[in-house]
Structure 1
Amino acid sequence: MRKLGSLILGLSLLLSFSNVKADEGMWLLSLLKKNAAEMQEMGLKLSSEDIYDINNSSLKDAIVGLGSEGRPFRHFCTGEIISDQGLFLTNHHCGFGVIQSHSTPEHDYLSDGFWAYDKKEELTNPGITASILVRMKDVTKKVLAKVKDDMTEEERYKAIEEAAIKLEEKAVEGTHYKANIKSMFKGNQYFLFVYEIYKDVRLVGAPPQSMGKFGGDTDNWMWPRHTADFSMFRIYTAPDGKPAAYAEENVPLKPKHHLPISVKGVEEQDFAMIMGFPGTTNRYLTSYGLDETMKITNQNRYDIRTLKLDIMKKDMLKDPKVRIQYASKHAGSANYWKYSNEQNKALKKLNTKGAKEDIEKEYLDWANEKPKRAAKYAEALNMIKKAFADRKDARFASSYIGEALAQGAEAPMFASRAKNLKKLLAAEKQDTVAIEKAITKLKASAKRFYKDYNAPTDQKLMAGLYKMYADKIAVEESPEIFKTIAEEYNNDFDKFAEEVYANSVFASEEKFNKFIVAPELEVLENDLLLNIGLSVRKSYGASYEKMSAGADELNKGMRLFVDGLLQINKEKNLAPDANSTLRLTYGTVGGYAPKDGAYYYHYTTLKGVMEKEDPTNPEFVVPAKLKELYEKKDFGMYADKNGHLPACFLTNNDITGGNSGSPVINGNGELIGTAFDGNSEAMSGDIDFEDNLQRCINLDIRYTLFIIDKFAGAQNIIDELTIVK
């Protein structure tokens, strides 16, 4: 099943509908006319057409979804175009992997930052894509045209998929655009999205990690915040303006719209809207799904990654090369490690399960009110409850094999890529052309893999995480290799890992390069890393199949449940869950009270950076030049009315992962900041929006400009921008 099926399978959750507010909701742009009056009352000076228009330039033309060539519609972050030369701004943590990939001990862009003072100095990034929405359209009737109530779920999926493929093909026929149909409201609605996807995306600038990641894991998801979380890229096109892979003759994109930048600052209660590509929210999740999220998904992720991060960190602190190699891996793992823990705490504190149970009671009362309605809707919650109960053990095992094994030590998964080569070498009649192609492909993969791989670190990850896995999962439910570890190594995981990395041809780049010159079947058949990798993949697939056994009933139950909730709340304007499609959220600037007796103001300044400085802690090191500028109060036009340099500010916008890097836009359509985080007290927000606590943490655009101008001296970048004073 393609994405439509997985979208329906993916769970979501509903808020408490009795108190829907303007700051709650990730709205589809084509439907904004429903929100326009309220937005204008709050301070928006633009029309809905100024935001989304398929015939004329509008704000949507300046919003970029960052993806990869293999998954262009799965936007991992957002960016905003800020010049007429295709320059766009996003978060430092969104560009972190790219910055890391260009870094070496000799050219450590993580530690030193990177600035292109001329377009010729910009760095290419194969595989990264930048998508701009061309148009979107409700195609529900056409997608569901052949769907009947008496169809099985499999028949339903097939009918939907066939219709979607035809609609996607027709939508982009004769163009270079790409189309994707996404499910909304658990399969009750479908929208077509057409994109222009650019393939030449180049790094332009990024501050040092000490500024772009200031506060590290300690400050992640926390307020007050002082992180200069930004990086800059540029989109290039072929000379004719169309998307093209990197080529020397490519030219900067001439966008239909770029955002002007306001340095006038923000005040409490100012209107603020955010446009971006939020990844996933789960606001239609039932209490049964919530139990799984808290007790299995979040808890297992937190427990396993605690050990994983500790192992990586210790080696990173010992060796500068390892620090660079594992910087992006550590950061990526740490982000949702902390998120999982903070979300569980928030869900317990806010009694989210109780709120979900209240919604379910309201639903059942509605469903049972009329016999005809009960026949269709009354069993939905029982179907959902049973599906979660039946898959409980499989979900636990699947989460452990995913986190501890598939995402643990990396060498086994890399080694498993030699499966095809092994099969070709074992064939009775060998296909030398196919073998050569397999070798070439494996070599290319190896070049990428070994660049950011350290065998001693990987060995420690295997020993530690495999032991943790074995302590939780019975050997008969584990990959085949765990029987070998138990029987031949007496569960001595240190000894096992030592032997694996001492003997495998995949354990080091040197061994691999020597082996791949003339690969032998016998070597592959006896290679432990390859056998481990294949064993893990096989077991992971089996656990996923077990977990998915009740998917049809779960999907049907969720579709009926959400359909019922939409009918119950038909007088309200409701937003569908986030699914990596372009959305707009609106609200205001403002602080909040996190607990009794405390209040957080809506802004921070550079003074807070200096107050947090700790030269002994890598998370709170302050560059000498930044301190010098602070002491001189050399803030230029970026200071506020009191002479302070703003750092970050808060809004009550509704965002989630994928919104990282999204533009924060004022009522005039001007850029005032970049969204980069949420607050820990409301980490339940992906499941249940908490209007009194939910806050979006944003980098003030004045701090961004100050760093580009005063800290980096990149006047060439400043000259490109449209700055409104």
Structure 2
Amino acid sequence: MKRIAILFLTGIISFSQMAKADEGMWLLPLVSKLNMNKMQEMGMKLSAEDIYSVNNSSLKDAIVIFGRGCTGEMISDQGLILTNHHCGYGNIQELSSVDHNYLKDGFWAKSFDEELPAPGLSVTFLKYMTDVTEKVNAELNDDMSEADRAAKIKEVSAELVKEAQEGNEYQIRVQDYFEGNQFFLIAYEKFNDVRFVGAPPSSIGKFGFDTDNWMWPRHTGDFSMFRVYCGPDGKPAEYSKDNKPYKPAHHLPVSLKGVQMDDFAMTVGFPGSTQRYLTSWGIEERMQIVNEARIKPRGVKQDIWLKDMRADEKVNIQYASKFAGSANYWKNSIGMNRGLEKLNVLGQKRELETEFTNWVNADADRKAKYENVLAELEKSYANRASFVKATSFLAECQIRGAEVLYFAYRATGLEKALEEENQEDIDKAVAGLKKAGEGFFKDYNPETDRKVIGALLKMYNDDIEAKYHPSFYATINKKFKGDFQKFADYVYNKSVFMNEARFKAFLEKPSLKVLQKDYAFIGGVSSIEKYREIKGMEAESAIAIDKNNRLFTAGLFEMQPDKVFYPDANFTMRLSYGSVGDYEPKDGVKYKHFTTIEGIMEKEDPDNFEFEVPAKLKELWKNKDYGQYADAAGYMPVCFTSNNDITGGNSGSPVINAEGHLFGLAFDGNWEAMSGDIAFETELQKCINVDIRYVLFIIDKYAGATNLIDEMTLVK
């Protein structure tokens, strides 16, 4: 195992000028060895120490994990956070009501006292990363079983974490990279008092909604603002009126300089997940099974949701965040399949695998180590295909699809307590369910879910083999004659979990008999049980795939010693670099690298909620009242494209110029390169960004929130 690590490190440090400057999600501690020369050739004026430093203030100290799946950045010395509107959307929705609809109307705090606590929201700072590959690998050997290897990694990691946690309260973990060929110890500091500061109305923050999602040209002011608070000692603290705005070690100066073609552009953020070392069989599984299991059920569910959302403002508020989250990766899956096919990524992977096979067969030592790797991968993917299809559809149709089933499943703790007649546990379970019910029913419409239940349970029945059906399907077939809508209607009328009043009454006097006869509970429990059962069937193949992916990746390092490798995204901090630029999506079409407010007015459609334009914005446009935020040519910029390498999780990442100043906010990728999570497309892949001048224009001229402008460090 040591030999693999040594070969890997030699490979990455030998920088190849063949590597594309705009491809790669780079680990910040390695930037000085791998990327600085190229970045400085492209115009960057910062040093590696300016970007990542453990002992001094650096760019990394201004970047946060926002919530559980986005990036944000500090833009003042008073804890002010900028992120995407779609990243804050769930929190804005949670704080909204029919009387105070912040999604529709926007919100702006004109003082600290007006800022709204955002329950459950946190931001997390990276403190440091340390390569511990040698320490972990020193305890591993090639004769270990996968179970023994995993146990030893867990043991060594626990020792490393324990040592690193002495004298601090950081959250520390050991994270693997390159399919388990490299390991870093990472320390974080998490703050749980985060407050909502401001956001434009959705007609600005989500302009274009799902029609424009993943598309260019874009005209979306996709931003929102929050503030992180700390205790009087400057340390993380739970919400208290006595807390104060946090003073970060670094905040980003905000540039008014503007955006020009070929400008250097750098993003720093937390990309969620890529699979660029996936083999051809893994890509086939993703396209034909996983993506299809997203596309079909979500399409049906979203049509039902959207119809009810358009008919009722309350339902629209309840389902706005859920719909946006579902639709985002529904459309992504459609685009990914399209892009992978168009770019012939499968063909390219098969060529690489043929090259790998020939390389292995040319040397006896390599044959001993790698000869069976690809064959085992092919066999293992084939063996688990039906299992993956079943669990993927089960997750989309029942666990994430029919909302009430998973909510009802959460009563299993109460069931156990009632069976054991343990009053203390019963009281605890009831209290937990009461709290869960408050959040669930606030954003739940039983009439809508009744339609979803009938449609998605039938889809699972029709598309998935009967041997993978949860046990309650037998009841549906027997008692309801296979009519899934009749089953859904029965649950709607009888279940204690589908009606808030019935739910509260049940918890006041919980009954084991009532619970165990409730079809929502029966359906939820049997769905989870079947999911776990099928996952167990898949386990052997999954272990084999993990092992052989690790070996295949290690073999690639050996086969291509002069290539610069970067690890797949895994929601740890990464840097990407590139430049502002246009692109040609198809023959005869060329997209310029920026859009303006003129495009908003061209797209306006008062009869389509996706393209409504606020009256105040139209007034500012008519009067050309852009203040200091207009481009030198006189127009009001809105968005621009760069060729930075991003994926989900990078939403909200700052786009930083050569001087280290914020000049854009990343929020999307482009439709023509949806294959990017698996294969970076060097000619077409674009990062879509909000021009920071449009953000400032909306805050200042549209909202009049000059207090927020005054906090920032503006650089002309």
Q: Same fold (TM over 0.5)?
A: yes
Say if 2:647 is the partner of 1:656: yes
Say if 2:128 is the partner of 1:132: no
Distance 1:182 1:599 in 2: 42
> Which residue among 579, 583, 604 is the counterpart of 1:592?
583
Give per-residue Cα distances to partners, 1:489-546, cap 9 Å, x unaligned: 1111111111111011111111111111111111112111111110111011112222
CA contact (8 A) 2:630 2:636 kept: yes
CA contact (8 A) 2:176 2:182 kept: yes
CA contact (8 A) 1:475 1:482 kept: no
User: Which residue of the partner structure matches residue 6 of structure 1?
Assistant: none
User: Which residue of the partner structure matches residue 463 of structure 1?
Assistant: 454
| Post-superposition offset of 1:18 | 11
TM-score by length of 2: 0.97
Amino acid at match of 2:87: C
> Which residue among 262, 265, 278 is the counterpart of 1:272?
265
Amino acid at match of 2:426: I
Amino acid at match of 2:388: R
User: Mapping of 1:362-377 within 5 angstroms?
Assistant: 362-377=355-370
User: Which residue of the partner structure matches residue 516 of structure 2?
Assistant: 525
CA contact (8 A) 1:475 1:483 kept: no
Q: Secondary structure at the match of 2:60?
A: helix
Q: Secondary structure at the match of 1:459?
A: helix
User: Which residue of the partner structure matches residue 554 of structure 1?
Assistant: 545
User: Which residue of the partner structure matches residue 389 of structure 1?
Assistant: 382
Distance 1:584 1:359 in 2: 27
Amino acid at match of 1:296: I
User: Which residue of the partner structure matches residue 705 of structure 1?
Assistant: 696
CA contact (8 A) 2:95 2:118 kept: no
User: Which residue of the partner structure matches residue 601 of structure 2?
Assistant: 610
User: Which residue of the partner structure matches residue 345 of structure 1?
Assistant: 338
| Post-superposition offset of 1:126 | 2.4
Runs of 4+ in 1 over 6 A off after TM superposition: none
User: Mapping of 1:125-274 within 5 angstroms?
Assistant: 125-274=118-267
User: Which residue of the partner structure matches residue 28 of structure 1?
Assistant: 27
Amino acid at match of 1:289: G
Say if 2:503 is the partner of 1:534: no
Distance 2:561 2:661 in 1: 34
| Post-superposition offset of 1:569 | 2.1
Say if 2:24 is the partner of 1:38: no
User: Which residue of the partner structure matches residue 503 of structure 2?
Assistant: 512
Q: Secondary structure at the match of 2:589?
A: coil
Distance 1:315 1:104 in 2: 17
Amino acid at match of 1:550: S
Distance 2:547 2:427 in 1: 47
User: Mapping of 1:116-131 within 5 angstroms?
Assistant: 116-131=109-124
Q: Secondary structure at the match of 2:87?
A: helix
Q: Secondary structure at the match of 2:583?
A: coil
> Which residue among 605, 617, 625 is the counterpart of 2:616?
625
Give per-residue Cα distances to partners, 1:24-43, cap 9 Å, x unaligned: 00000000112101100101
CA contact (8 A) 1:179 1:192 kept: yes
User: Which residue of the partner structure matches residue 443 of structure 2?
Assistant: 452
User: Which residue of the partner structure matches residue 53 of structure 2?
Assistant: 53
> Which residue among 74, 80, 84 is the counterpart of 1:81?
74
CA contact (8 A) 2:70 2:651 kept: yes
Distance 1:523 1:662 in 2: 49
User: Which residue of the partner structure matches residue 11 of structure 1?
Assistant: none
Distance 2:286 2:500 in 1: 39
Give per-residue Cα distances to partners, 1:611-666, cap 9 Å, x unaligned: 00001111000000000000000000000011100000000000000000000000
Say if 2:582 is the partner of 1:583: no
1:475/1:488 CA distance change after superposition, 3 Å = farther
Say if 2:713 is the partner of 1:714: no
User: Which residue of the partner structure matches residue 557 of structure 2?
Assistant: 566
* Percent of aligned positions that are identical: 54
Distance 1:367 1:125 in 2: 55
Q: 5+ residue gaps in structure 1?
A: 1-16, 68-74
User: Which residue of the partner structure matches residue 14 of structure 1?
Assistant: none
Distance 1:592 1:619 in 2: 26
Amino acid at match of 1:150: D
Amino acid at match of 2:331: K
Distance 2:374 2:714 in 1: 54
User: Which residue of the partner structure matches residue 10 of structure 2?
Assistant: none
Give per-residue Cα distances to partners, 1:380-416, cap 9 Å, x unaligned: 1111111100000001111110101111111111111
Q: Secondary structure at the match of 1:550?
A: helix
Q: Secondary structure at the match of 2:130?
A: strand
Q: Secondary structure at the match of 2:427?
A: helix
User: Which residue of the partner structure matches residue 62 of structure 2?
Assistant: 62
> Which residue among 407, 428, 431 is the counterpart of 2:422?
431
Distance 2:187 2:363 in 1: 42
User: Which residue of the partner structure matches residue 688 of structure 1?
Assistant: 679
Q: Secondary structure at the match of 2:638?
A: strand
TM-score by length of 1: 0.96
CA contact (8 A) 1:51 1:59 kept: yes
| Post-superposition offset of 1:703 | 0.3
Amino acid at match of 1:544: K
Q: Secondary structure at the match of 2:586?
A: coil
Say if 2:663 is the partner of 1:672: yes
Distance 2:121 2:101 in 1: 21
| Post-superposition offset of 1:19 | 5.5
CA contact (8 A) 1:61 1:257 kept: yes
Q: Secondary structure at the match of 1:85?
A: coil
Distance 1:121 1:542 in 2: 50
Distance 1:434 1:295 in 2: 45
CA contact (8 A) 1:391 1:547 kept: yes
Q: Secondary structure at the match of 1:571?
A: coil
User: Which residue of the partner structure matches residue 71 of structure 1?
Assistant: none
Say if 2:472 is the partner of 1:481: yes
Give per-residue Cα distances to partners, 1:328-357, cap 9 Å, x unaligned: 000000000000001100110000001111
Distance 1:18 1:561 in 2: 24
User: Which residue of the partner structure matches residue 5 of structure 1?
Assistant: none
Q: Secondary structure at the match of 1:356?
A: helix
User: Which residue of the partner structure matches residue 8 of structure 1?
Assistant: none
Amino acid at match of 2:275: N
- Aligned residue pairs, count: 700
| Post-superposition offset of 1:598 | 0.7
Distance 2:694 2:583 in 1: 22
Amino acid at match of 1:231: S
CA contact (8 A) 2:205 2:223 kept: yes
